[in-house]
Chain A
Amino acid sequence: MIITSNVTKNYGAACVVDGVSLQLPQGGITSIIGPNGAGKSTLLSMVSRLMAMDMGTVTVGGLDVTKAPSDELARRLSILRQDNHMTARLTVRDLVAFGRYPHSRGRLTLDDKVHIDRAIDYLDLGLLADRFLDELSGGQRQRAFVAMVLAQDTDYLLLDEPLNNLDMKHAMGMMKLMRQAADDLGKTVVLVLHDINFASWYSDHIVAMKHGKVAAQGAASAMIRPDVLSGIYEMDIKVHEIGGQLISVYYG
Chain B
Amino acid sequence: MQRDLDTRPHPEPVAGRGRGPEAATSPTSRFDRLTMRSSRPALVLIGLALLAVISIVLFMTLGAKGSWSFVLSFRGKKLLGLLLVAYSVAVSTVLFQTVTNNRILTPSIMGFDALYVLIKTALVFFLGVGALVSLDSQVQFLVEVLVMIGFSGILFRWLFLGEERSLHLLVLVGIIFGVLFRSLSQFMQRMLDPGAFNVLQDTLFASFATTDPTLLGISCIIVVAVSLVGLRLMHTYDVLSLGRAQAINLGVDYKRVVVIILSMVAVLVSVSTALVGPVTFFGLLVATLAHSLVGNSKHRYVLPAAILLAIVALVGGQTLLERVFAFDTALSIIIEFLGGIVFIALVLRRSAR
Asked whether A127 lies within 8 Å of B296 as measured between CB atoms, the reply is no
CA A116 to CA B104, docked complex, whole Å: 32
**Majority SS of interface residues in chain B?**
loop
Q: Which of B2-59 contact A (CB under 8 A)?
A: 2-3, 6, 13-22, 24-25, 30, 33-34, 37
Considering the complex, give the chain B residue whose CB is closest to the CB of A52. B162
How many Å lie between the Cα of A212 and that of B24 in the bound state?
49
Chain A residues with Cβ below 8 Å from B249 are 48, 50, 74, 78-80, 149, 152
The one of A73, A88, A91, A131 that contacts B242, using a Cβ cutoff of 8 Å: A88
Contact check: which of A84, A88, A101 meets B241 at CB < 8 Å? Answer: A88
B15–A121 touching, CB < 8 Å: no
**A:101-131 near B, CB below 8 Å:** 101-102, 105-107, 121-124, 126-131
Residue pair B242, A173 in contact (C-beta under 8 Å): no
A63 at the interface (CB under 8 A from B): no
Which B residues lie within 8 Å of A86 (CB)?
A: 101, 241-243, 246
Instruction: Flag if B296 contacts A89 (CB, 8 Å).
Output: yes
Q: Is the CB of A70 within 8 A of B251?
A: yes
Query: In the complex, what residues of B have CB within 8 A of residue A170's CB?
Result: 15
With A49-B248, A87-B103 in contact, is A124–B21 under 8 Å at CB? yes
The reply on B137 being an interface residue by CB < 8 A is no
- CB-defined contacts of A121 to chain B, threshold 8 Å: 18-20
Tell me if B246 and A126 are in contact (CB < 8 A).
Answer: no
Complex contact B102–A87 (CB within 8 A): yes
Within 8 Å of chain A (Cβ to Cβ): is B291? yes
CA distance A49 to B244 in the complex (A): 11
How many whole Å from A112's CB to the nearest CB in chain B? 13
Contact with A along B220-245 (1 / 0, CB 8 A): 00000000000000010011011111
A101 to B101, CA, bound (A): 19
Chain B: minimal CB distance from A111 (Å): 17
The smallest C-beta distance from B320 to any residue of chain A, in angstroms, reads: 32
Contact of A71 among B103, B243, B251 (CB under 8 A): B251
**A89→B34 contact, CB < 8 A:** no
> In the complex the two chains form, what is the Cα distance from A95 to B103 in whole Å?
19
- Cα–Cα, bound, A86→B17 (Å): 28
Residues of A within 8 A of B33 (CB): 130
Given A50-B245, A89-B296, A73-B239 contact (CB < 8 Å): no
A95: B residues at CB distance < 8 A:
242
A164 → chain B closest CB, angstroms: 15
Return B123 CB to nearest CB of chain A, in Å: 37
Please state if B235 and A106 are interface contacts (CB–CB under 8 Å): yes
Q: A79-B249, A177-B16 are contacts. A88–B297 as well, Cβ < 8 Å?
A: yes
Residues B13 and A87 in contact, CB atoms below 8 Å apart: no
Q: Does A202 belong to the interface (CB within 8 Å)?
A: no
Q: Which residues of B171-198 have CB atoms within 8 Å of chain A's CB atoms?
A: none
Binding site for B on A (CB under 8 A): 48-51, 69-75, 78-81, 84-91, 94-95, 98-99, 101-102, 105-107, 121-124, 126-132, 137, 140, 149, 152, 169-170, 172-174, 176-177, 180
Q: Enumerate 30 A-B pairs (CB-CB under 8 Å) in ascending A order.
A: A49-B248, A70-B252, A71-B251, A72-B251, A73-B251, A86-B101, A86-B241, A87-B102, A87-B243, A88-B297, A89-B296, A90-B296, A91-B296, A94-B298, A98-B238, A98-B250, A99-B250, A101-B235, A102-B250, A121-B18, A122-B18, A124-B17, A124-B21, A130-B33, A140-B1, A149-B249, A152-B249, A152-B250, A172-B15, A173-B14
